[in-house]
Amino acid sequence: MPKSAYIVLARKYRPQGFEELLGQPAVAVTIKNSIASKKIAHAYLFTGPRGVGKTTMARILAKALNCVKGPTPEPCGECQPCMEITASSSLDVLEMDAASHTGVDNVRQVIIDTVALAPSRDRYKVFIIDEAHMLSTAAFNALLKTLEEPPAHVVFILATTESAKVPATIASRCQRFKFRPVPVELLQEHLGALAKKEKIDIEDDALELLARTAEGSLRDAVSLLDQCRSFSDKKVTAASVREMFGFVPQEMLLGLAESLFSKNAKQLAQWLQKVYDEGVEPAQLLKDLRAALEALYLSKLGLPSPIPSSWAKASSAMTAEALGFLLKRMNRALEELRWGDSPRLSLELSLFTCLEAAWDLTAWANRLEALEKRLASSAPAAAPVAATADDEPEPEEGEAPAPLASGGNAWARFLSAAKQEKPGLAMTLERVRAVTPETGPWKLAFAKQFDLDQAKRALPWIEAKVATLTGAATKISLELGQIGHTPTPAPVDEDAPAAQPGGAWKDVTEKTPASSPEALKKAQQILGGKVRIIKKP
């Protein structure tokens, strides 16, 4: 390469040692310790997003294994093996791009046919397979046996961005290391240091914008900084970065967000027209708007997320749930934009439909519950009803009496609560006659003794639940029969036939106490039917 040839920053400042690798401390420490303790695995699998240092780590590991001072966790970088590995010209470190060499013939030619050969000069023969998930099934099967039991002088390093596509039979034979996206703060600090070395005059806001745009990729962040240097000889500002990369201006994003927050369709249409006039890509607009809403959402949740004062003021009336709803709509819009044939239509539909939807369902439910409580508390209670035999129709034989009208909605709300907690008791209470005045005790009348006994056992719970619903302690009396009705003596059927000779009938009119008609009435209510007194002849 000619000495005058320009080297991009991503290559010029590529890490050459474990300590230089940014944002992957766990991986670096683990591999360094394994090398220092001479516990070197025969196969490694590096997984993670693009541009976070997987291939770089593979080359550093190869240098650590083949350095003249090695195996060492601190390769010198000055010996012949280290310099050749850095330049990708080492005969004993073979790199294969699985994206362009996917077939079994490629694996056989590069790996299988050469794996048994001893290294030409270095200590280990290292095979680096980049984008390993692109290998075909046949290629993986051909590699399987060699990967499981390679010669002692061979080390495999597989790097992939899609670990799910690597067969489990391959992954289980490797030591697996997961590379994570580099945090924005670390990226911004690193870009600032590089800009200082390269004498690039750039604002901190512009560095933060580049770091966020890189989405955790160190290589992308350095490439963006390199592109900024070529944009202008003057100071690089956040506005110039947005203009250079086609980012949406902040005032445009804020205008769109305010239109959504206020559900102003006319204002939203005006801002969309400005978007079209500026030639902004719909996908880029949605991504930038989503990023701004995400910062607001995290701030509403109480998480540290610095936002400008203008955004904080615009979103003062928004709840976290409403912002979460908008974020979901932005994600769905990006999916529709990806597969649709009309980006402009997808953008308009996604934004205008947000104006028509209910964002905060929890708030709506709370408002409805509050309204229901106000209506229930303001409803006039029915006057106590004195149920007598004169103003109530007698039930037919075998039929339970119909319930009385209850005062207000208290009795209905109590029955609703009872159905949720005690369904069996609720079925019984639905058949009673109830008088529930606003003041004074409640009266419940039961048609059958069995129902009355069941209610007596549950009386403490009934009174506690009623007190909870009404907000005041309420005394509840339980009665059998009709409320306020004095039982009449059971009719005597004088025309009933006499007992047959030799029968075992008893004369109840002579041997029972004076209250016997009441006792018979009680038995009639429990057992049903009619009472007939049969006299002895």
Q: pLDDT-derived band of residue 536, with 50, 70 and 90 as boundaries?
A: low
Who has greater pLDDT, 456 or 535?
456
65 and 164 housed in the same domain:
yes
Q: How do beta strands 93-97 and 125-130 pair?
A: parallel
Cα separation of 15 and 210, whole Å?
20
306 and 163 housed in the same domain:
no
Cα separation of 200 and 226, whole Å?
9
89 and 117 housed in the same domain:
yes
Q: Is the pLDDT of residue 156 over 50?
A: yes
Q: Is residue 42 part of a domain?
A: yes
pLDDT tens for 226-250 read: 888 887 777 888 888 888 887 788 8
What lies within 8 Å, CB to CB, of 407 at 6+ separation is: 381, 382, 383, 384, 435, 436, 437, 438
44 and 153 housed in the same domain:
yes
Q: How high is the pLDDT of residue 512?
A: 46
344 and 295 housed in the same domain:
yes
Query: The domain that contains 283 carries what CATH number?
Result: 1.20.272.10
Q: Is the pLDDT of residue 399 over 50?
A: no
Q: Is the pLDDT of residue 520 over 80?
A: no
Please identify, among 361, 376, 396, the residue that sits at the C-terminal boundary of a domain.
Answer: 361
Q: Is the pLDDT of residue 526 over 80?
A: no
Please identify, among 213, 245, 277, the residue that sits at the C-terminal boundary of a domain.
Answer: 245
136 and 190 housed in the same domain:
no
What is the average pLDDT across 456-476? 82
Name the residue among 71, 173, 186 with its Cα closest to residue 122.
71
Query: The domain that contains 155 carries what CATH number?
Result: 3.40.50.300
What is the average pLDDT across 83-96? 90
Q: At what angle do helices 282-300 and 250-262 cross, to 10 degrees?
A: 70
Q: Is residue 294 part of a domain?
A: yes
pLDDT tens for 297-306 read: 888 888 877 7
15 and 159 housed in the same domain:
yes
Phi, psi of 77 (to 5 degrees): 75, 0
pLDDT tens for 318-366 read: 888 888 888 888 898 888 888 878 888 888 888 888 887 766 666 667 7
Q: How high is the pLDDT of residue 516?
A: 55
Residue whose entry in the numeric block shows the structure tokens 């038995």: 523
139 and 192 housed in the same domain:
no
Structure tokens at 64: 């650590």
DSSP state of 521: H
172 and 156 housed in the same domain:
yes
Enclosing domain of residue 28 = 9-178
pLDDT tens for 25-75 read: 999 999 999 999 999 999 999 999 999 999 999 999 999 999 998 789 999
Amino acid at 400: A
Q: Is the pLDDT of residue 402 over 60?
A: no
195 and 155 housed in the same domain:
no
169 and 29 housed in the same domain:
yes
Range from 52-66, 188-202, 468-482 carrying the lowest mean pLDDT: 468-482
237 and 294 housed in the same domain:
no
What is the average pLDDT across 415-442? 80
Q: Is residue 445 part of a domain?
A: no
What is the average pLDDT across 391-407? 42
Structure tokens at 79: 């010996």
Q: Is residue 434 part of a domain?
A: no
Q: Is residue 384 part of a domain?
A: no
Q: How high is the pLDDT of residue 240?
A: 83
Q: Is residue 503 part of a domain?
A: no
Q: How far is residue 456 from each of residues 230, 368, 423, measured CA to CA in Å?
A: 89, 35, 16
Q: How high is the pLDDT of residue 525?
A: 66
Q: How many CB atoms lie within 10 A of CB 529?
A: 9
Q: How many domains in the chain?
A: 3
Please identify, among 157, 178, 199, the residue that sits at the C-terminal boundary of a domain.
Answer: 178
Q: Is residue 450 part of a domain?
A: no
Q: pLDDT-derived band of residue 395, with 50, 70 and 90 as boundaries?
A: very low
Q: How high is the pLDDT of residue 337?
A: 85
